[in-house]
Amino acid sequence: MPGSTARRGPLPTGGCYPPPCPLVLGLSSYRAARSVNGTARHATALPRMKDDMCLVRGIRLWMGNESAAGDVMLWAEPSRASALIEAVRAAGLRLSAIGGVDSGSLDSLQLDDDVRIFDDLRATAVERKPKVLLISAPTGGEEPALDSRTISTLRAAGTVILTSVPTVNGILEAAEIGLFRESDGVTPASSIRLAPRVRRHPSFVAAADVFETFGRVNLMTVESFATRSAGGLTASMLSAIDAVMTVIGVPELADAAAARPTKRLVDLDGSVAALLRFPDGRCGQLMVSDRGPWGWRVTLTGDSGRLTIRPSGFDWITPDGERKDESRIAPEASGYESTLAALLKEAAQGTMADSMTDWVGLLSTAEAVLLSSRTGQPEAPDMIARAAHSSV
């Protein structure tokens, strides 16, 4: 289960550690203040620090009033660019380059004079080797922009690759270009991280404290929405599946329906619903769409009742209808831009403590959902994964 991702970086000038962010510190206080009888509390208090100036400096750094080291390179559609640029600024990072398939439309953005606009993702990434490469739109073209050699070059340069959409047209293509081929204990795919992830959101991190007490989850329902500016239906689909894999794992079967069935994840549009079946008898439900503002809700149901997690916090309701526990996250720290900004900062500072993204499980499940929406029959992610591996 995911835990707190708060980790301290190098000492800044003045000899004090800046907090990773006030919210994460608040979660630490929340955990410390948890009472024996489970009385509800709010995750809002900051812990006392010996040096008040250190706290002020840390908050200013987190809020972006002081620049953090590192530059960010974006690949985005024009409609998504503004929100991403705001997230970069909120993280206190420097936008060095922005590109997209339709790079000419990016000229209308309000950018600093030294920001480069480009249309060749592979060449520009290898040339500039940014601290963080954030991809929020399909890379386009017949050939993948990020092949195994390019990813290995960026990894060697210390570039962190974050993406909300697949960087390939499917799991078969990923296998063919060697993204799952292991070398020195790592695969190129392991250098690409899904972002943002439900499991990394502060409310989910807070809820992780009660997972062991809650016990076995028999049913998991995930509702996920992402506007086009936040990655659209493709992003909401991957985010929802990743959440299910975090709690239960990769499903045995996926039975789905889509408003507009398609063969490729990057072409998804509208809404998708799916029933996921697991070999131990547990089940999951996905309801994903790009027809609404960014947000998500995870509902875990078991013998201990219902645990509902959303960006604003979580609530644990017992089978008798009593509220056993709850948490609330500050509104200014729970939205899409603030969540992404915190992740960008961790990536730039090299303090990401999360496990790698399981792209084999993620892509095979997503493609099973797409296939089922076209055939009308349940489809097995494992069969899709094995077919991809056997093709190379």
Q: Which residue is it, tokens 């990769």?
A: 250
DSSP-derived letter for residue 224 is E
Q: 135: Cβ–Cβ under 8 A, 6 or more apart, which residues? A: 75, 121, 161, 162, 163, 164, 165, 167
Q: Supply the pLDDT for residue 189.
A: 94
Q: Supply the pLDDT for residue 354.
A: 64
Q: 146: Cβ–Cβ under 8 A, 6 or more apart, which residues? A: 121, 122, 125, 139, 161, 167, 192
Q: Supply the pLDDT for residue 303.
A: 96
Q: What is the dihedral of CA 329, 330, 335, 340, to 10 degrees?
A: -80
Q: Rounded distance, CA 251 to CA 254, Å?
A: 7
Q: Supply the pLDDT for residue 311.
A: 96
Q: Supply the pLDDT for residue 24.
A: 35
Decide if 211 contacts 199 (C-beta within 8 A): no
For residue 71, the cross-strand partners are: 94
Per this entry, what is the length of the chain? 392
Provide the residue-wise pLDDT of the chain in tens; the chain has 392 residues.
443 333 333 333 333 333 333 333 333 333 333 333 343 333 333 233 333 333 333 433 444 433 445 899 999 988 788 889 999 999 999 999 999 888 878 878 888 889 999 999 999 999 999 999 999 988 876 778 899 999 999 999 999 999 999 999 899 999 999 999 988 888 999 999 999 999 999 999 999 989 989 999 999 999 999 987 788 899 999 999 999 999 999 999 999 999 999 999 989 999 999 999 999 999 999 999 999 889 999 999 999 999 999 999 999 999 999 999 999 999 988 999 999 999 999 999 988 876 789 999 999 999 999 999 999 999 999 999 999 988 65
Q: Rounded distance, CA 342 to CA 265, Å?
A: 27
Q: Supply the pLDDT for residue 139.
A: 82
Q: What is the dihedral of CA 274, 280, 281, 287, to 10 degrees?
A: -20
Domain annotation for the chain: domains and CATH numbers: 71-196+353-357 (3.40.50.720), 198-332+364-374 (3.30.360.10)
DSSP-derived letter for residue 160 is E
Q: Which residue is it, tokens 């990020």?
A: 146
Instruction: Tell me phi and psi for residue 223, to 5 degrees.
Output: -105, 130
Q: Supply the pLDDT for residue 8.
A: 31
Cis peptide before 196 (omega within 30 of 0): yes
**Across the chain, how many H-helices and E-strands are there?**
12, 14
Would you state the structure tokens that stand for residue 334, as one six-digit string?
A: 């729970």
Provide the whole-model pTM: 0.80
Closest by alpha carbon to 284, among 194, 363, 224, 227?
A: 224
For residue 350, CA distances in Å to 5, 310, 330 come to 12, 27, 25
Decide if 106 contacts 131 (C-beta within 8 A): no
Decide if 2 contacts 199 (C-beta within 8 A): yes
CA 117 to chain CA centroid, nearest Å: 25
Residue type, 218: N
